[in-house]
Amino acid sequence: MARMYPDTWSDKNGSAAEALVYRRLRDETPDDWLAVHSVGLSSHRTKPWAELDFVVVGPFGVLCLEVKGGQVTAEGGSWSTNGNALKESPFQQAGGGAAALHGELITAVPPVRRTVVGHGVVFPDVRFKARGAGIDHDLIYDDDDLRRPMRDYLERLATHWHAFHGRGDEQLSRAERAAVVRFLAPSFDLIPTLRARMAEVDAELVELTRAQGRVLRGMRDQERALVRGGAGTGKTMLAADEAARFARSGQRVLLCCRSAALARHIARSVETDGVDVRSYRELLDELVDAADRRALIPDAEDRDVLDVFLPEQAMEAVSELERIGSYDALVVDEGQDLMVEGALDLLDVLLEGGLARGRWRVFLDHKQNVFEAVDRLQYDRVSGAATTQFQLFENCRNTPEINEMTALLAAVTPDETSARSGPDVVVRYVLDAKDEAGAVATVVDAWRRRGIEPRDVTVIATDDRVADRLERRWPPDAPKLVRGVDGHGESVRLATAADFKGLESQAAVVVGVKEISDRETLRALYVGCSRPRALLAVVLDERARGDFETRAVEFVRQQSEVDRE
């Protein structure tokens, strides 16, 4: 997949034929090639200003493409497209542009002298069989070529021009290719808005999630399904969909998760009557208060209250309130956080038929567990009762760049992703914790200059202490930073990884990493880095640089082994 400039296509950019060529250049050429659309030339020998439709830069050199869509006619040396007369043939246009560009490049980027600046003509809508003076079929891409990758045509074109000029096998290095593109920068927008890129990524990832939903429809005939998948594999969307489906058939449904923020998010997305969406704590409090048993809970640490005393009183409340079997179906999201005896016992008595014989769906992430260590006995309790199990392998939230960075930092195996490439992940280092807020604000400001609204950005701190520090040190001239997961107008959100678990954002900055080794930091990195759909930045303490670089080398080695297999 070539790197494209601009990196997203708008119908305002050019014709339908040019859009087709843009997509084929992007999708059917190697990653280390670069392709530029609409390059202006001020040194053309016969025109005060000329334009090349596409310039492709690869190891072979530079290739200039003239694109002519629709009907093409040539009579007596006169050319026309779609009934409009051309002042010169497409071959003359492409050749003249290539010659002008060659003259500019050999001065600006001298290594181009040892390779070629060639040209070709693309007729994507017709089968071009005309013969005559000035028509060189070695340079033509037409309807017949659509059956083969664009790479084949460009390599054929490069071979032609290398032979024509008597060039050997010398190639342009990556750095030299980048220099060519930097020289062309004044001719086009090298910094397209990131918002356009995010919109494109978003649409594709949502479509992938829908595709997973189609695959999972096989579980609709099953009473009890356990679905495993990593971050971004679409579990929450599928959980909400299943809950709504149960409710539409007249069933009373409980959708439960550990995080209150995630419960609020799901509740907003499930508009069907008959679905009660509750966080585990909300469910406990609701039952205890309804039975007026709050006074029976001793004054103790909040953790003990949640783990022991609230569940005990909630179980008693279920009996008193005659709530046993009050739900026909149960859906659990982020189930790894509820694999504890007290939680499963409560869900068991609320579900008609219980976990052993009732109707339920449990979605869990086998790679993470922010709140507690999974109780293997409780996991086996659920797994053993399931009538079917599914595994989600494809990441439907993150771009490949974010997916790989999450795996690298959190030391987990990356899921598959077929989403198109997105912006590179930004990695920043700070010498001291007091510099974190300034580094984060700098990243947000750079994104804002490229079209990203502050409300689309979430700053994810590894823990509450880091979040508190960011609030105290946040620069006064930066966009307002507001603590919370729900967003506040034009402000940047600030949340901890635990608070933002199960949620997502267009863009995120993960901050507060001193070292990449302890268990809690790895969990926070896994959750935080997997939240954004399109843009990710990670702010690391300088002390973590060596660990990060070691992990990067090891990650590349492991992926190379996987590719060889």
Residue 213 lies in a domain: no
Please confirm whether the linkage preceding 186 is cis (ω < 30° from 0): no
Q: Compute the distance between CA of residue 66 and CA of residue 98 in angstroms, rounded to an integer.
A: 10
Per residue of the chain (565 residues), give pLDDT as tens.
Answer: 778 877 777 655 567 888 888 888 988 998 889 888 877 654 434 433 357 889 999 999 999 999 888 777 777 667 777 777 777 888 888 888 888 888 888 888 888 888 999 999 998 888 877 676 667 788 989 888 888 899 999 999 999 999 988 887 778 888 888 888 878 754 443 334 455 555 555 555 555 555 566 656 667 788 999 999 888 888 888 888 889 989 999 999 999 999 998 999 899 888 788 999 999 999 999 999 999 999 999 888 888 888 889 999 999 999 999 999 999 999 999 999 899 899 999 999 999 999 999 999 999 987 765 444 457 888 899 999 999 988 888 887 788 889 899 988 888 888 777 666 778 899 999 998 889 999 999 999 888 877 788 999 999 999 999 999 999 999 999 999 999 887 777 899 999 998 998 888 989 999 999 888 788 888 899 999 999 988 999 999 998 888 888 888 888 777 776 666 5
How many other CB atoms sit within 10 Å of the CB of residue 143?
12
Domain enclosing residue 507, as ranges: 400-564
Q: Compute the distance between CA of residue 276 and CA of residue 263 in angstroms, rounded to an integer.
A: 10
Please indicate, yes or no, whether residues 374 and 463 belong to a single structural domain of this protein: no
Q: Compute the distance between CA of residue 48 and CA of residue 207 in angstroms, rounded to an integer.
A: 46
Please indicate, yes or no, whether residues 16 and 66 belong to a single structural domain of this protein: yes
Please indicate, yes or no, whether residues 376 and 424 belong to a single structural domain of this protein: no
Residue 132 lies in a domain: yes
Domain boundary among 338, 363, 386: 386
Please indicate, yes or no, whether residues 404 and 524 belong to a single structural domain of this protein: yes
Residue 212 lies in a domain: no
Please indicate, yes or no, whether residues 369 and 420 belong to a single structural domain of this protein: no
Among 489, 439, 488, CA closest to 461: 439
CB 500, CB 265: distance < 8 Å: no
Q: Compute the distance between CA of residue 297 and CA of residue 304 in angstroms, rounded to an integer.
A: 10
Domain boundary among 189, 208, 242: 189
Please indicate, yes or no, whether residues 492 and 416 belong to a single structural domain of this protein: yes
Among 21, 15, 19, 36, CA closest to 186: 36
Please indicate, yes or no, whether residues 134 and 17 belong to a single structural domain of this protein: yes
Structural tokens at position 562: 């996987």
Please indicate, yes or no, whether residues 478 and 341 belong to a single structural domain of this protein: no
Please indicate, yes or no, whether residues 159 and 273 belong to a single structural domain of this protein: no
Q: Check: pTM over 0.85? Answer yes or no.
A: no
Please indicate, yes or no, whether residues 326 and 244 belong to a single structural domain of this protein: yes
Domain count, the chain: 3
Expressed in angstroms, the distance from the first to the final Cα of the chain is: 22
Please indicate, yes or no, whether residues 91 and 115 belong to a single structural domain of this protein: yes
What is the domain-level CATH number for residue 461? 3.40.50.300
Question: CB neighbours of 16 closer than 8 A, spacing ≥ 6?
Answer: 69
Residue 166 lies in a domain: yes
Among 113, 64, 127, CA closest to 91: 64
CA atoms within 13 A on the CB side of 104: 21
